[in-house]
Structures are given as structure tokens and as C-alpha cells.
Structure 1
């Protein structure tokens, strides 16, 4: 026993000595969370506000509720009879009803009295009231809104009251795991502080065209909408906007509009009362692995141009359907959804360099951006396609890849309602369970290109598919046009 005890003590001493002599870098150093955010929260509280908005309906609530149909002998019949009789007799208030909405916001300009919140907090409001942490209240006017990013800018007249503004930080510098703090008005409980980390970046929750949310586990609940998400320097790096929650309460998955997007929108709303976004005027779709292989690209990246908008910035075929945009104004386009956001952040009228892949070859083109808001007024159904030419004399119909295709003559145009500007070969039949059906091809669509070469007859369709098979290609890239000329690309297996 003595020898065993001596051995254990000797081994313990050796281990302690060994640990003491190890270099410090060999032991992982884990950064501790903030011991307290009390000072930070105390300094930021005056800048965060609670927002109460109300909407006056023109008709009373009870008058809009019909008498429910109850089964014969229902025990509730007497109660409902009495309620609706009283309503008809005028005992119920039939005057205008008021709907209340609660949210959060923060001061960004103390001199001008500018306050940022979410658009959905004040949407359709007749009255907006801002409540400060010291108990004071001010009426607010709407400066401007942006539904695409769900941002609104309000203005108050502070009078003798001194406002304290916060500034935006750089959301691009935020890393997954960085500490953040939210202050807001959850469930009407003003001045609530929660702390967490950035859980993820670049989240797309399908709420708008420019989704690029920061995800956080800092508790965000109903009423936090429009409130700020701070970094540990007290800078706003996000606007709390949405949560995922089956119960309606926080489960640790909240989303914030990054300051990279919000700052530009707020600046435009403050200057113009509206947004003025850059616009390229192209229709795009994702580059899948199959499309990348069909285009001779090394990997799936970028945004595939499915068409251009007539009257838009693209002129003289600078960018064409089938091009893949991989870089815009010096910024890489890794996914399709990157392009609309980056273009929208660019100034209207700026000339930008765009790197495209056209038929397997990279090239750089220059385009002067238009304004998105003007582009939205154009006919979205129109498309410019310089590769389309007048159709030639029709040939016989043929079947390929599960489709029967025929000539796009006057009879076919009338039968399927195809516009005069659409040129190619019409799909007259799609076999169930075929590769064409699997890719969503429908009768009446028009094949305009195969492997980026135009086709005008069914014979050319068959020949082109046969040629691709001889080249050892596994997939065929088809450009299809809808009845009104809107283009899209699909890949079809040829095995």
C-alpha cells in the first residue's frame, strides 16, 4: 500500500511538472463571455424606443360578424340569440374600432429626430407614438418605408427633449460566435435586454428578394420587431425582424437585417423618402451542377441569365440569355441570390464591370445601371433575345426526351396562345414520367435553344440532341420560352 501510494504521488507530481512545462499555446484558450453588459445596456437604453401604432377601422367589429349557424337544440342557441338581438338593438358599440400594434425602434439622428423600425410595425397605421425609456412620449410621422427589406423611417419633433442616437456598425465584421445584445419591447414589456451570439450568417428565410439575415440566439419575441441588435461596442449591426417559433415565443432562432443592408436603405429613406436601387434588368435563375456541366463550367456558381428586360440597361446584346454572371463590380457572385442584393446596393447610373461566362469563355462587359423602381414599371412579360430570328419553313414533328415537338406556325401560335415574338419549336405533347415531365416542361412551351444554339425546326432539335450524345454529354441544356416570351433554362438527362 505504501509503495502504491508513493507511486501515485510520484506520477501526480510528474504530470503536474509536465503540464507546467508545456508551452502556453498548446492549451486551448477559450474566450469568456461578457461578465456583465450592465454598463453597455444602461448607456444604450435611452436610444431604444417602444413604438405603438394604431389603425382606425371604418366599421365596427361586431357588425361585421354574422350570426353563426348552430345545430338544432344547441345549448348555446339562447346565448347567441341574446347577443345578436342586443347588437341589433344598438346595445353594442358599432363605432369605429382601433387596432393596436406594438414594436421597437431606435434613434439614428438626434438632431433630426429620425427613428428606425420595421415596416410591418407601422404598416397602414393612422397614428404612431414613440415611447422613450424615461417615460416620455412623442407623436411620430412616417418619412418613408421599404417593403422589400421591411424597414421604415420615422420622424419626431423632440422639442425641448434631448435625444440620444446610436450609430450603425459593420455587420460584415460579425463572426459566428460573436456576442450580441438585443434591446426592445417584447410583449409590450419595454426596456428588455437579452444577450446571445451570432448563430449564423447569410440566412435566406424567403421573406424578400434581399434576404441575408444574421441569425441570433439572443431572445427575440413579438414586440422586439424593429429593435436594434448591438455588438459589444454598442453599435447597431442588425435590426431584429423575425423569429421561428411554433409557440409564438423565443426558441433561440431570431433574425436581424444586417446593418450592411439597413444602413443604405435608411440613408435613402432619409434623403428621398423612398429607395433608389440599382437595376441591371436581367432575369436570372440558379446555376445547378447539371447546368454548369452543360455550359462547360468547372463548378456551379454565379447567376444564369434567362433573359433581359426590354427598355432596361442591357443594350446591344452586352449580356445575353445563357450568360452566367460570376462577378459584379469586383464582387464575386457565388449564388444566384447574391446578384439582386449586390446590384440593389449599387448607385443608380453607375457604370460597372461585370464578368460573365459565355459559351465557356470568361469575358468582361460594362453596363450603366438603371433604377429598379423605374424598371418595375416596365412590362415584366417582355424579354429581349437577340439570338431569335424569324422562323423558317416548318418541318415534320418529332419526339425527343419524352417530348413531341412541332413547328411553331400560325396554327400552333393560335392553338397555344403563343406571342408573335416567340421563336423556336413548340412542345405539343409531354409523356408522363419522362425526363421532360420531371423537369416541369408543359405543352405550349417553346424550345428556343439547345446547348446555347438556336433551334427553329423539330429536325434541328433531334440533330442537336444526337450531336450532344455523340460528344459524350450527359445532360442537354434547353432554353424554353413561355407563351409570352419569358425564358428559363432546364437541363435534361440524355441517358
Structure 2
């Protein structure tokens, strides 16, 4: 027994030692395998960094007419102050870019060269050139430059439609002026919709977690084959530096913009002349959809392409030219990339049934007129089951509807987000043309079922839903 008692612990100890050694070997093998599976960017950087450039600009901007003391300076003193204040100030900017052809065409962001009087481009081999602007496109935040040089190293574009979430990407640029810095990460999402300078969404951004900082703007985003899949343009940040949310312009869009800038110095985009919004769960239910998908038409330009077609307000656009529309942000990039004058088909949901309509895409205007405000007047109605007090619009109003004068606290309308001053133009599928019709429609509203409501707030149309209990 003593002999057995002595040997048993030793066997256990020996077994544990062997197991520990086996575990350590396994962990070492796993680490080695993972290390071998990570991409090696050294060859990519050595081969393609010579085509990346650093861009610096000089320019002037109007300092404005305001004095440092605000608008309360008496007129007798205002001229005294303004004559002594500089009306212009020098500005300098810095960014990145890359050569796209051996004869000196360079692509960068529009915001890098905006307001620039002089643009300087420096290559990796320390050569420096003065660049001219061939054309800019603020809507996509792209600018095409040209330098007087030949036989330059240049980069090739990839097909950005083949980019997958999770794949490795790499950026080269000059963050904070630190030339030719390299950072890597993965694609986090595709088709991100971010409003542009005119509150439009014509760029379906590639989102990555690559460390992008001020100075990286306009630089290339590479795939593992050394091709450009995007142009780094924006970051989301609270500190001014990278927090892992960066956005790049897809290469396919950039190629189309470059071709138009080369040809005419500006970009033409398709236009439907509609305002749209996303579909909520309740709105989808009220419109006969099984899930919230598509983009609902909230208004149309009177003389726009959509108004000349069979498209109607409250139609839900589900497909555009064979491409699915999952949300309102999917539609503008597709329309913008459509050649003006082309006929396209759209699948819409109307009164619970799918229909296919044809529309001739127009040319996007450079500017838009503002919708005139409305004044109230005329007959009114007292509080109703929705908790609203409404009145008729004046005869010269641009659209039909009724004006909300009061919203009862804790009412159905208040829960739906309606406010005094909103104009209700549609209940369910029916257009509201008068106070009497509004009352009739409210009386016929179903209980415990969401109903779509189209309304205008400060001239801007939108949809919401309300449910009578």
C-alpha cells in the first residue's frame, strides 16, 4: 500500500506535465498559423507607394464683414472698425492624392483643393510640381488635378462592387503631414449613406476601421492586390483623430466622375425630382408590406421627371432599374449614376399591390428653390379622435391639406410626432383636400391598426403612422 500510495501522485504529476507541454505546443502552433494567415503588406507598399502624393495648397477666403464686437456696434463706429479689419485671410490645407495615369492626372478630394489659389504636389522621390485643377465635383468630394510630367508611376482601380465586408484594406497618406504613413484594417460596411454639402446622398461610402486622420483625405484605399477600391474622404470622430470609423468613396463611382471631369470639367447626374424617406415598421404594415423596405415618395417637383411619369406620392419604390431598394439611402446613388435621358423601370408598391412604371431620368439641376411657407386661415375644426384641431389652408397654398392648429397632450397625434404648424395632406391612401374631408376620413379610420399620414413641416414632406386605440 505505501508503494502504491507513492506512485499514484507521481503518475498524476507526470500526466499533468505532459498535458501542459502539449497545450503549450498547441498554443504555439495556433499562434504561428495565425501569424502566417495575416497579410504581409510590405511588397504592396514598396510597389505602389511611389504613386501616392502629398498635396499642399495656399489660398484666401473672405473673412466676412462682422466686427469682433458683433452686430450691436453703432453705425457711426462700424466703418471705423471694418476698415481696420482684414477682409481676406490666407489659408493653407494639406491632404493626399494618387496618380491615376502616367501623363500626370491625379485624383484627390474636393475639400483638399477647395478655395486654393496654388496647389503643390510632392511625389515619394521628393519631386514637386504645381498642379492645375481639371475639374471638381463637390457632391462626390472628388477633384481631378494635372501636373506637367511623364512616365509617372500610377495606380489601377479595382471593381468596388466586388468588395466584401471583412476583407483587408490598406491606406497610404500623409496624416498630420507625416508623409507616406501606412495603416491597415478591414472593410466594416458597404453602402453607407452620409449627407453631403447639399444634404444629398449620392455616394455609397465604404466604411472601414483603417486609421484615417486629417491629411489622409484624398489618399488611396487598397485591396490586397494593390488596386484602389476607394478614396479616403471622411472620418467620424469626437477627438479630431481616428476612432476606427472612416469612409471611402467607391472606386467605381470615382471612375465615372474622373471620366466626366476629363471630358468636360464637371459632372452630370441623373435626377427624378422626388423627396423620399425610410419605411418604419408601422408604416410598412399600413402600406401592405411584410417588412420595412424601400423608399416612400413624400413629394415630387412639379415639373420634374417623376411628375411626368406614372409615379405618385406615397408610392414605395422597391426596385430601380433592376436593383433592390432596401432603404431611402440606396436610391440617390443609383439615380445619380444614371445617364440623363435614359428610360428606367421601377417597381413600386401602391395600395398594397406591386406595379412597374417607366420614367425618363432627367438632369440634376445645380440648385433648388425653397418651398414657400404657408399661412393659416379659413374654417377650423375642434379637437377630434386624433387629438387635433385643424383648419383650412388659404386658397393660394401650394398643396392641398389641413393645417394643425393644436395637438392635445398625450393624444394619438402627439404620440405620432405631429405638431402645431404641420400640414396633413394625406390619411391612409386618401388625399386630404378640406376640413370636411379630413373629418370624414378620421371617422372611418380603423382601430388598433397603423395608418399612414403624410404631412408637411416647414414645407418639407414626410410620413408617419398613427394608431387609434
**Would you say the 8 A contact 2:421–2:457 is kept in 1?**
yes
The correspondence for 1:455, drawn from 432, 437, 453, is: 432
Q: Distance in 1 between matches of 2:113 and 2:458?
A: 40
Scaled by the length of structure 2, the TM-score of the pair is 0.82
SS in 1 for 2:359: strand
SS in 1 for 2:244: coil
The correspondence for 1:441, drawn from 418, 435, 440, is: 418
> Alpha-carbon deviations, 1:41-75, whole Å to 9, x = none?
1111221000010014578x9xx9969xxxxxxxx
How many residue pairs were aligned?
A: 433
Give 1:313 shift: 0.9
Q: Distance in 2 between matches of 1:198 and 1:37?
A: 16
The correspondence for 2:449, drawn from 474, 488, 493, is: 474
> Alpha-carbon deviations, 1:406-459, whole Å to 9, x = none?
3x2xxx52xxxx733422333332223433234443434433321111233434
The correspondence for 1:132, drawn from 123, 140, 148, is: 123
Q: Distance in 2 between matches of 1:226 and 1:424?
A: 47
> Alpha-carbon deviations, 1:249-273, whole Å to 9, x = none?
3333322222233222222222221
In structure 1, the gaps of 5 or more residues are 18-28, 68-87, 89-93, 383-392
Q: Distance in 2 between matches of 1:247 and 1:397?
A: 52
User: Are 1:404 and 2:389 matched, yes or no?
Assistant: yes
Q: Distance in 2 between matches of 1:217 and 1:487?
A: 36
* Alpha carbons of structure 1 residues 325 and 185: separation in structure 2 relative to 1, 3 Å: same
SS in 2 for 1:399: coil
Q: Distance in 2 between matches of 1:65 and 1:473?
A: 59
Q: Which moved more, 1:147-156 or 1:231-240?
A: 147-156
Q: Which moved more, 1:174-183 or 1:227-236?
A: 174-183
The correspondence for 1:37, drawn from 41, 54, 59, is: 41
Could you say which residue in structure 1 is the equivalent of 2:353? 361
* Alpha carbons of structure 1 residues 483 and 34: separation in structure 2 relative to 1, 3 Å: closer
User: Are 1:381 and 2:355 matched, yes or no?
Assistant: no
**Would you say the 8 A contact 1:400–1:462 is kept in 2?**
no
> Alpha-carbon deviations, 1:193-241, whole Å to 9, x = none?
2222223333345455235322223322211111001011011111112
User: Are 1:492 and 2:466 matched, yes or no?
Assistant: yes
Q: Which moved more, 1:426-435 or 1:148-157?
A: 426-435
**Would you say the 8 A contact 1:307–1:321 is kept in 2?**
yes
SS in 2 for 1:337: helix
Q: Distance in 1 between matches of 2:107 and 2:221?
A: 12
SS in 2 for 1:109: coil
User: Are 1:249 and 2:238 matched, yes or no?
Assistant: no
In structure 2, the gaps of 5 or more residues are 1-5, 23-32, 70-83, 373-377
Give 1:355 shift: 0.1
* Equivalent residues in 2 for 1:135-284, closer than 5 Å: 135-158=126-149, 161-207=150-196, 209-284=201-276
* Equivalent residues in 2 for 1:95-134, closer than 5 Å: 98-111=90-103, 113-134=104-125
**Would you say the 8 A contact 1:184–1:193 is kept in 2?**
yes
The alignment yields a C-alpha RMSD, in angstroms, of 3.4
Give 1:289 shift: 0.9
Give 1:166 shift: 0.7
* Alpha carbons of structure 1 residues 162 and 316: separation in structure 2 relative to 1, 3 Å: closer
Scaled by the length of structure 1, the TM-score of the pair is 0.78
